[in-house]
């Protein structure tokens, strides 16, 4: 087959069109992947709506890609990859290798980070080309539709928790039960934390317990900080909700030396005063996604503990419908495009 299909956006904020393109050849250090599934992340709006610099149209979004290697570029054989290998490419789509963060081994904050759908065509397609350093190997236990979302939603929550200051037995709260948060609750419970899920509405209490939470806080019925303090104070709050007000409202619920780990993207400033942080030595930090090795670690942990994202699948030709369902908040909890 000399052509493949993509779901592309021709102009900022435009609709998705299904277009045929010629099959690309992978260059040195790259591989071509036969895409089997691709999750739809809210961060895809950054590119579809040209909210970040350097976006060039037409855009093919998608950075939660699962598939199989179908062609190797020069030099990739020496890196241990073979045609047929099952791989994920996530938000981390490769690094430059020469900026200061890369030279320090901190590749996820590369100053020239490559992100699928931004710096090269993403996974809303039947085929795509990616740098070999972006590849994470999929365990046999994971299906493509489960593996794809772990390349962004999964690794961001898993890494955010495992790199936090929390130890098994500590009280850890996850703010938001959505595409990120539902995985955060599962990971927190599996890591041995006393897990609190925070969301809006009493109707989410049963879901929170099903996900593994030991406690549920309805933010519409109580003050979140007071609820956390009544449980002893949270050592860590993993803030997945995209609301600055909701994130800031958890600060006084932290214990001494508590840590607010922000992974939910929101444009508004956080209303947190220095006084809230100083006396108890609290920390607020942003947490980026994770490297290809981090994605592979996330998938291995998920396979070991039976953790899977909750997904809804649609075929590639329904990309517009799937994307709109993600935007509306009606997805439960990750929309995934199936291409094969």
- 245, 225 in Cβ contact below 8 A? no
**Which residues have CB under 8 Å from 165's CB, separation 6+?**
235, 236, 257, 259, 283
- 29, 76 in Cβ contact below 8 A? yes
Burial class (CB in 10 A: 0-12, 13-18, 19+), 226: exposed
Burial class (CB in 10 A: 0-12, 13-18, 19+), 23: middle
Spans in the chain with pLDDT lower than 70: 1
Note the pLDDT of residue 259: 98
Residue located via tokens 């435009």: 14
Best CA proximity match to 115, nearest among 161, 142, 145, 151: 151
Note the pLDDT of residue 340: 83
CA 84 to chain centre: 25
Residue located via tokens 């071509």: 32
- 158, 312 in Cβ contact below 8 A? no
CB atoms within 10 A of CB 305: 14
- 183, 157 in Cβ contact below 8 A? yes
SS3 at position 137:
strand
Note the pLDDT of residue 1: 61
Tokens of 308: 């899977």
- 272, 280 in Cβ contact below 8 A? no
- 147, 67 in Cβ contact below 8 A? no
Note the pLDDT of residue 77: 87
SS3 at position 146:
helix
- 330, 324 in Cβ contact below 8 A? no
Distance CA 197, CA 237 (A): 10
CA 133 to chain centre: 18
Note the pLDDT of residue 198: 98
**Side-chain-facing half-sphere of 160: CA atoms under 13 Å:** 34
């Amino acid at each position: 087959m000399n052509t493949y299909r993509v779901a592309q956006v021709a102009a900022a904020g435009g609709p998705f069109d299904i277009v045929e393109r010629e099959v690309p050849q992978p260059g040195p250090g790259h591989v071509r992947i036969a895409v089997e599934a691709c999750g739809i992340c809210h961060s895809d709006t950054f590119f579809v709506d040209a909210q970040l610099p350097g976006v060039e149209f037409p855009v093919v979004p998608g950075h939660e890609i699962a598939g199989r290697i179908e062609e190797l570029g020069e030099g990739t054989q020496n890196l241990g990859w073979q045609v047929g290998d099952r791989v994920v490419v996530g938000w981390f789509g490769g690094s430059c290798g020469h900026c200061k963060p890369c030279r320090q081994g901190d590749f996820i904050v590369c100053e020239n980070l490559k992100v699928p759908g931004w710096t090269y065509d993403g996974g809303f397609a039947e085929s795509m080309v990616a740098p070999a350093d972006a590849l994470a190997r999929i365990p046999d236990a994971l299906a493509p539709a489960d593996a794809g979302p772990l390349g962004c939603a999964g690794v961001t929550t898993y890494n955010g928790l495992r790199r936090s200051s929390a130890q098994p037995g500590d009280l850890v709260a996850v703010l938001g039960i959505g595409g990120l948060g539902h995985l955060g609750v599962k990971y927190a419970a599996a890591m041995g934390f006393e897990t609190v899920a925070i969301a809006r509405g009493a109707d989410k209490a049963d879901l929170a317990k099903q996900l593994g939470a030991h406690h549920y806080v309805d933010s519409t019925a109580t003050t979140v900080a007071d609820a956390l303090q009544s449980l002893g104070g949270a050592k860590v709050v993993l803030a997945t909700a995209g609301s600055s007000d909701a994130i800031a409202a958890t600060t006084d619920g932290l214990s001494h030396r508590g840590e607010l780990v922000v992974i939910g993207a929101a444009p508004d400033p956080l209303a947190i005063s220095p006084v809230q942080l100083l006396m108890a030595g609290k920390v607020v930090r942003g947490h980026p996604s994770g490297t290809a090795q981090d994605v592979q670690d996330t998938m291995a942990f998920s396979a070991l503990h039976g953790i899977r994202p909750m997904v809804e699948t649609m075929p590639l030709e329904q990309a517009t419908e799937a994307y709109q369902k993600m935007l509306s908040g009606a997805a439960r909890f990750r929309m995934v495009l199936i291409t094969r």
